[in-house]
Structure 1
Amino acid sequence: MPSAPSQRFVLTLACANRPGIVAAVAGHLSQAGLNILDAQQYDDTQTDRFFMRVVFDPVAGEVALDDLKRDFLPLADRFGMVWTLSDPGTPRRVMLMVSRFDHCLADLLYRWRIGELAFEPVGVIANHPAETYGHVGLGDIPFHHLPVTRDTKLEQEAKVWEIIRDSGAELVVLARYMQVLSDGLTAKLAGRCINIHHSFLPGFKGAKPYHQAHARGVKLIGATAHYVTSDLDEGPIIAQDVEPITHRDTPDDLVRKGRDIERRVLARAVRHHLEDRIILNGSKTVVFAD
């Protein structure tokens, strides 16, 4: 029985649609001694943009990621591609940010510990003290307590960015971090900061969305994971889910059910990002789900 490949790589690309893109990519990989394991593509006819995700491995031996990037560059330039090429065997460095509610933090760390989410937690930034998360089991993960008030927000956010920058974090996850990030920080984190919003956006923004939903008598509640932008709660949506409710459910019932939705939606969005399944398409996303 052949052994499992020792290397796998993921290529994502987006460019103006034109004939020959798939053939060119497949031909390049074949000539380079690389074998396509999985390929997904999407042609957005409204924007005339083409999107593709390819998983491949070397036919024989091992290859260096930097060499693959160098060799692919002429083809990418020819088609005007926005592209990434990554090695999923190297876990991404992830910074987690949290406020008082810790259910999303606990869930992400659990999935990391059992190997469901492959990433390297480089720190937790919280605006509440460490004892708030005593039952989560942070272990050796660096913990940064950065309390914030209206008067100290700019100073606190400068420290947040310093920690993120110095940690080498490739992804920042707002795991119910209930502070609005400034335009400056969201610009620095463009395309690599995921937020979970405890509502099925674009409805019920702002404070107490479940209470808003209860007051309106809705029959579905939900959660939305999206990339953070300077437009509050309006970044490109990655994942959403809903839960049915009835007139018997109280606001507390909605909050309880909402916690479960938030956990699974955020985990799904983080996994899609870690596996390079998301390509930005203007204010939207193309998500190549497994």
Structure 2
Amino acid sequence: MLEENRGRLLIACPDRQGIVAAVAQFLYEQSANITASDQYSTDASGGTLFMRIEFHLDGLEAREQSLCNAFSSLAAEFHMAWQYAPARQRKRMAIFVSKELHCLQELLWEWQSGQLNTDIALVISNHDDARNLVESLGLSFHHVPVNAENKAEAEAKQLALLRDAQIDVAVLARYMQILSPSFLAHYPNRIINIHHSFLPAFIGRNPYGRAYNRGVKLIGATAHYVTEDLDEGPIIEQDVTRVDHRYDAHALRIAGRQVERAVLARAVKWHLEDKVIVHENKTIVFA
């Protein structure tokens, strides 16, 4: 299927009979062919219905405006919150990183292999460690030091970089800085973080040290959208790996890195493919 002729609809609305049929009928009348359809309802009676529909329509780009205008009438009838996304428009991504590069390396490898359908516009770091790796791939690297005294100035510079690069989504690939509420307000549900713990356990810093002290038998990682509440944003993906008493804090950290890489890559991929709907502080992921 040609990307330029593929569109996606994400829908959330009060559940009632006939919604799925109405959307399918609408697309049929537009001569569109549904190629993927997923639905989930929180309750069979009186709940919320979530839908993701992917469709093919010849000459889609020229018809998008009229298609969305027509769909808005249907959306009003069913009180839908909805979003249309053309598959041909690759989201522009920025990656933030500090000194640990394993999550950045995983994203770059996935991007090089064609598994991440995105344009990596730039990489921003508060350290210079990733420069050679990033620039060796022909990508733009920006070193923006951050400390307690210059945090507001650093964030202003970072926001300017994101704005100039027309960034759609930012990924915190082990970026060990807390972003301010004013920064987050520019990209609601468009900043993805990897936390090196299976949330809600061990929120905040040094989770592997605290996991070791607790004697855990499972360690994990959590990818989530960033909100003002530290490590409490809507969760996109999680995974775990088994450990035992022979693992010290360093061994836990090494094992955890493998989980972090995979979890973040999956979460970013799903976001790029418009497979995630945020509802309150949860997500519906049509993976």
- On whether the aligned pair clears a TM of 0.5, the verdict is yes
Quick one: which of 141, 144, 167 aligns to 2:142?
Answer: 144
Provide the C-alpha distance between the structure 2 equivalents of 1:247 and 1:136, rounded to a whole number of angstroms.
Answer: 38
User: Structure 1 pair 254/12, CA: closer, same or farther in 2 (3 Å)?
Assistant: same
Equivalent residue number for residue 275 of structure 1: 273
User: Structure 1 pair 133/102, CA: closer, same or farther in 2 (3 Å)?
Assistant: farther
Quick one: which of 258, 261, 264 aligns to 1:263?
Answer: 261
| Alpha-carbon contact 1:102-1:133 (below 8 Å) kept | no
Quick one: which of 179, 195, 198 aligns to 1:181?
Answer: 179
Equivalent residue number for residue 35 of structure 2: 37
Q: CA RMSD in A?
A: 1.6
Provide the C-alpha distance between the structure 2 equivalents of 1:47 and 1:136, rounded to a whole number of angstroms.
Answer: 50
Equivalent residue number for residue 85 of structure 2: 86
Provide the C-alpha distance between the structure 2 equivalents of 1:138 and 1:238, rounded to a whole number of angstroms.
Answer: 31
Equivalent residue number for residue 21 of structure 2: 23
Deviation at 1:139, TM superposition (A): 2.8
Provide the C-alpha distance between the structure 2 equivalents of 1:62 and 1:151, rounded to a whole number of angstroms.
Answer: 50
Q: For residue 80 of structure 1, give the secondary structure of its aligned residue in structure 2.
A: coil
Q: For residue 206 of structure 1, give the secondary structure of its aligned residue in structure 2.
A: coil
Provide the C-alpha distance between the structure 1 equivalents of 2:141 and 2:135, rounded to a whole number of angstroms.
Answer: 11
Quick one: which of 191, 199, 202 aligns to 1:201?
Answer: 199
Provide the C-alpha distance between the structure 2 equivalents of 1:62 and 1:195, rounded to a whole number of angstroms.
Answer: 34
CA deviations 1:239-270 (Å, max 9, x no partner) are: 00000001011111111111110100000000
Number of positions where the alignment pairs a residue of Structure 1 with one of Structure 2: 284
One-letter code of the match for 2:263? V
Quick one: which of 251, 254, 270 aligns to 1:253?
Answer: 251
Deviation at 1:140, TM superposition (A): 2.4
Equivalent residue number for residue 74 of structure 1: 73
Unpaired runs of 5+ residues, structure 2, are none
4+ residue runs over 2 A deviation: 60-68, 131-140
Provide the C-alpha distance between the structure 1 equivalents of 2:74 and 2:241, rounded to a whole number of angstroms.
Answer: 45
Q: For residue 134 of structure 1, give the secondary structure of its aligned residue in structure 2.
A: helix
Provide the C-alpha distance between the structure 2 equivalents of 1:16 and 1:62, rounded to a whole number of angstroms.
Answer: 29
Unpaired runs of 5+ residues, structure 1, are none
Q: Percent identity?
A: 46
